[in-house]
Chains A and B, each alone.
Chain A
Amino acid sequence: MNTTLRHILFVLIFRPWLRQIIGIKSINADIVNRQEQFIIVANHNSHFDTATLMSNLNQDVFDKTHPIAEIDYFNQTKLLQFVSSKLLNVKYITKTRLEKKLSTLDILDDLLKKGKSIILFPEGTRGKPGELSEFKSGVAVLLKKNAKIPFIPVFLSGMGNILPKGSRLILPYNAIAFYGQPKRINSKKNNDELLKEIKESIFALDPSFTNP
């Protein structure tokens, strides 16, 4: 699909729909567009997580950013497939991994080496609404390998209400995406410490967490 056409579609229809009708608000989202290359790390509750994170990008940043997904969920219907891969720029890794016998880590590493930015959900799958499940340790390894690229923590709140796992009914709800400051990790730390650091930097953005 023509990228200019896609961007026009995004700016005129998709973005207003997300913000005005569905009710997703983003705080500090400009940060992302100021970065040369980045890794967004966010918690995952709904398909709208990816849509929200992508909708805040400018066109040039948008074209070189890929949300990462396994093929399982998105491959269900033609519509979902079209929306995710063509509109939202989602990169599926399962196929490449099985055909070329590469590990997930190698594929992502390769993308970053090419100068692409990626969006990661370290929980792996959409968890229960409002809960943060265990992070996969691959995130820490990847960040350690690419210590020069800043990671941006994003806390997504209330997305699970809009389209929970297993539901097909999209309902308007107020949801907020809190963007944190870009950070570089200390590659001397071990994986567990890094995972904890990443998790805390996401949690620290939750306003109900910082001022109980």
Chain B
Amino acid sequence: MLKVFFLNTPQEITWIFSGLLVFLSLCSFLFFLLDKHKTSALSKELILRTKTWWKIALLTLLIAILPDIWAVIIISYISFLAFRELITVLPLDSINRTSIALCYAAIPLYYAIIYLKWLSIDPSLLLVALFFMILFFSLRGLYIIAVRRAVILLFFSCFLTLYLPSHLILILQHTYTNPNIEPRLLLLFFIFLVSFNDVFQFTWGKLLGKTRLFPKTSPNKTLEGFILGVLTTLIFGIVLRFLTPFSYSQTLIVSGMIGITGFLGDLTLSAIKRKIGIKDYGLALPGHGGVLDRIDSLLFSAPIFYYLVVYLIFIYE
């Protein structure tokens, strides 16, 4: 039977969310004072951003304390939002509407296959099937360029917003051989670390950033922000180690990887934005832009984290 009621919450979840509550309250209070002292565009943006972080924290709390089915529903809805944003900004022709509809239909199907473990199919096979469907329906297009564009863009969108975040569910659903692993805590460790990495790369970049790494694609990225951000993530990884069965060296490898892939994910999606010529992916999250602007680093880190954990534990046994 499916469990849809509250789980008994582990002690660790209470601690980590109390910590988050204190941290976010402190930030809200600090930015409120800053805005009162001297109102500027930056203080307004910081207040908006913190408000959105409160909402994200609430969503993470729901994922943490509710049974798995809710995590699947929440993450598939986020996946859907991200796909919708991408489809809105990419230059697709109206002839591809059938293919787009297929991709929309594939989102709940994909998550259902992962969650219910249907017939023990490898879920990425659905991605291959989707590729052929997109190809088939796009061939009605008259010009080869339009067909090629549809196949590339649609398949890329599905890969980015469906395949990558589905690893978050895989982290929850994987049957770990190590009995010390609590999958839910592992997922929380990952989400927290990615978010902290984002926040601190942004903060250090704003405070101390001088050397611009990619002035054209992403003017906000600086060498100082990147290095100090990754260092902060390493420290937070050690602090949050109590959620995982990792040793110190394993924690350092995992958090360092999250820092680097988070940076790369952010950079990739910024580059796409510049190519299309837009500033943000949408208006869904005030202060941040669209959903994609927020989860960009999460998307790229998720598979790396998942395979790293499976691999590390494999070595560990």
Contact = CB atoms under 8 A, between A and B. Distances in A.
Interface of A: 23, 25, 158, 161, 164, 167, 169, 171-174, 176
A171 B283 CA distance: 19
Contacts of B104: 171-172
Contacts of A173: 84, 87-88
B101 A169 contact: yes
A169 B88 contact: no
> Is the contact region of chain B dominated by helix, strand, or loop, or is it mixed?
helix
Nearest to A161: B88
Interface in B53-87: 80-81, 84-85, 87
Nearest to B94: A164
5 contacts: A23-B88, A25-B283, A173-B84, A173-B87, A173-B88
B282 interface: yes
What are the nearest 5 A-B pairs in CB distance? Answer: A174-B88, A172-B84, A173-B88, A23-B84, A169-B97
B97 A174 contact: no
A176 B85 CA distance: 12
B100 A174 contact: no
Contacts of B81: 23
Contacts of B203: none
B14 interface: no
Contact of A174 (B84, B98, B101): B84
A171 B84 CA distance: 9
Given A158-B88, A173-B87, 12 more contacts: A23-B84, A25-B283, A161-B88, A164-B94, A167-B97, A171-B97, A171-B100, A172-B80, A172-B87, A173-B84, A173-B88, A174-B283
Interface of B: 80-81, 84-85, 87-88, 94, 97-98, 100-101, 104, 282-283
A96 B94 CA distance: 37
A174 B282 contact: yes
Contacts of A176: 283
> Is the contact region of chain A dominated by helix, strand, or loop, or is it mixed?
loop
A176 B282 CA distance: 10
Contacts of A174: 84-85, 88, 282-283
Nearest to B89: A174
Contacts of B85: 174
A173 B282 CA distance: 11
Nearest to A163: B97
Considering residues A158, A174, A176, which has the most beta carbons from chain B within 10 angstroms of its beta carbon? Answer: A174
A124 to B, nearest CB: 22
A167 B283 CA distance: 27
A172 B104 CA distance: 9
A167 B100 CA distance: 14
A161 B100 CA distance: 12
A167 B94 contact: yes
A174 B84 CA distance: 7
A16 to B, nearest CB: 13
Nearest to A158: B88
A28 to B, nearest CB: 13
B98 A169 contact: yes
Contacts of A164: 94
Contacts of B282: 174
Contacts of B283: 25, 174, 176
Contacts of A167: 94, 97
A172 B87 CA distance: 9
A174 B85 CA distance: 6
Contacts of A171: 87, 97, 100-101, 104
A176 B283 CA distance: 9
A164 B94 CA distance: 9
